[in-house]
Chains A and B, each alone.
Chain A
Amino acid sequence: MKIINTFVIVKDSLYSVQYETEMLNEFAKCFELWNDPIYLRAFFEQHKEDLEHKFWNDITIEDAIIKTREDAQLFEEELLYIAETGKTERLETLSTLFEPLSKGYIYGKFEKDKAKGIKRHSWLRMYAIRIEANLFVVCGGAIKLTQTMNNRDHLILELYKLEFTRNHLQDEGNKHLEFVEIN
């Protein structure tokens, strides 16, 4: 794995890496995939058993595809607003969009409950490294249907990308960059 570029998504606040094997940076790639019915159909066919978990209320593959795109649209419009308006008070909301990746992902314990207000459950995740309070570098994204990340190949890959990007960014005296996610 090799990072060939970093891109500015939101000035002074949000960056994204691009890996050698990809045509797009990870941030842009997420939205292309989450808007692609062919990709989404294949993904949910492959993870049909996870989708059938009672947590998802018997949702059909067809509805799962529609829901994914709807969630992605809301998410994208929010970020587009921030990207277009630049540094305003709302920009500070970027830091509230990201939250620390819980230890449960790595050690296999249950994910901590998170206050999500009235927002319905979304399985979309964007993973990033937090550099400062309001400065993030996106290194991947996924559809997360399970409680933990360490027993599904596509999520294990995301953990690896987090680790890889952190190593790429940090230097000798800097070993405590935090893993974060948007959901």
Chain B
Amino acid sequence: MRMSNIKNRLEKNSKQDNSWVERAKYRKENKTWLDISFTIAVRIMSALKANKTADVFPKTQKELAEAMVCSPQYVNKLLKGTENLQLETVTKIEQILNISLIEIPEFQSTLQVEQFRKPAASDELVKKDVVFKIKKTKEKV
């Protein structure tokens, strides 16, 4: 009886939450780039902390803003890990803090892969397949 009183009161007096559902959907739908933005924010903060320990510029958010020639508010936004960063901004931060934030795997053509690859005996079929692909590529050229 008493329990249903509480239940009734809750049902009658509560508002529907929209803030969390909307934010949760946004986080789910944008997960891939938000993950990267979050990790970048974490790395930047670690670099600032290391600079602070070593007494190297920039060691605070404010100093990073100075080095980036932007507002401290922008740096704060960036460190929230929710900013869809431009490559120009990322590379600028990499240079200022002397850290690597994103890396592109080095490009290797099919031909280069074959030249540097030492196939195992059991790899014969794969090897033939690769050679075939190279020949086809040469033909095209």
Contact = CB atoms under 8 A, between A and B. Distances in A.
A25 B27 contact: no
Given A9-B20, A35-B38, A83-B21, A131 B7 contact: yes
A27 B16 CA distance: 13
B68 to A, nearest CB: 17
Contacts of A182: none
Q: Is the interface of B mostly helix, strand, loop or mixed?
A: helix
Interface in A1-31: 5-9, 12, 15-16, 24-25, 27-28, 31
B70 interface: no
A175 to B, nearest CB: 10
A69 interface: yes
Contacts of A163: none
Interface stretch (A73-81, A112-120, A147-155): A73-81
B110 interface: no
A171 interface: yes
Interface residues of A, number: 41
Residue of A32, A38, A132, A170 most packed against chain B (CB within 10 A): A38
Nearest to A40: B42
Given A80-B24, A131-B3, A171-B5, A37 B19 contact: no
Interface in B1-57: 2-3, 5-7, 10-11, 13-17, 19-21, 23-25, 27-28, 31, 38-39, 41-43, 45-46, 49
Contacts of A135: 7, 10
Given A36-B80, A37-B80, A62-B46, A15 B14 contact: yes
A65 B6 CA distance: 38
Given A28-B23, A73-B27, A80-B25, A66 B17 contact: no
Interface of A: 5-9, 12, 15-16, 24-25, 27-28, 31-32, 35-38, 41, 61-62, 65-66, 69, 73, 76-77, 79-80, 83-84, 131-132, 135, 137, 169-171, 173-174, 177
7 contacts: A8-B14, A32-B23, A38-B80, A41-B49, A131-B3, A171-B2, A177-B6
